[in-house]
Structure 1
Amino acid sequence: MVEESGYPSHRVPSIPAPAAPARVRRFTTAFSDPRTPAREKRGSPGGASGSGIGVVITSDRQLRVVRTARPRGIRLDGEVDLANVEIVRHSLRAVARDGAEVTVDVSRLAFIDVAGLRVVIESAAELARQDGYLLLVGASRQLLRILRLCGWDTAAGLRIGQPGGA
């Protein structure tokens, strides 16, 4: 026997369990950067791919690493911590193989811990040994302050700039 009350009943929708295992899924794709002028999207005169194209090297719920063509380097979106610092290390090594200037855009970075900063500084030092440098652009005031407090703002091979200019 079922009793009825005067209270309205509320149904809670069931939430399906994830279909995939608990591992993090990563994907790679290409996209066009909307901030790039249309003239640059057509490609460079040497037949290389367009400067407005970035390739997502890795992406998960916490961090997306995008390899950029112009300026040559990577852009970090999200959060860098001990859990994904090796991804950043490998991404920086891959883009720094040619030496010269490597740009790391951190303007969309919400958080970076000391382990992540150490990887950036170590990559700058490796580039300095190859007569190159790492240009860190888009750093927040807090990030710049941490770099100064650690003494890393004057690290070999590290230059600090603003997005869109050196």
Structure 2
Amino acid sequence: MFNIKAVLSIVVFLNMSHVDSAAEHRLPRVVTPLPAPKITDLPQFQGEHKESLYWGTYRPQVYLGVRARTPKSLIAGLMWIAVKDSKYHLRHVCKHEDDLSTYGWTMHNGRDFGHQVLVDHGMTLTTGFLKSKEEGSGYGGDWTVRVCVQVDQ
């Protein structure tokens, strides 16, 4: 049986939060943009600096994701299937319920390289990201990702 006081408290709380948010939405909002250029449009963020940051690990909330800094970029990432409790689980997006004992970058300079370790229930994935700019490279340089998998017996 539900505790009637707890249920009434929840109903009152939800009702009060709805009333407060409705009052906020009635207030007029004024947004005035700053009359200055965007920081990314300043000269120090152009040219070689901008090109060096074109490709990178710019995909949040995934275990590994690589993309360019353009709206319709090619997207590359890591996805694998893990077995837990005799069920298959797809891994791609970082979720707390995935229950990985370790994941994240152990080294990363934000520009040219990164190294990370992911430990998923008896399986260790090691990833490396490396980017270089040589003669003949395309805009933003050339990049590669290496994935090593070790299964604990």
- TM-score, scaled to structure 1: 0.25
Larger Cα-atom Rg = 2
Structure in which a larger fraction of residues adopt strand: 2
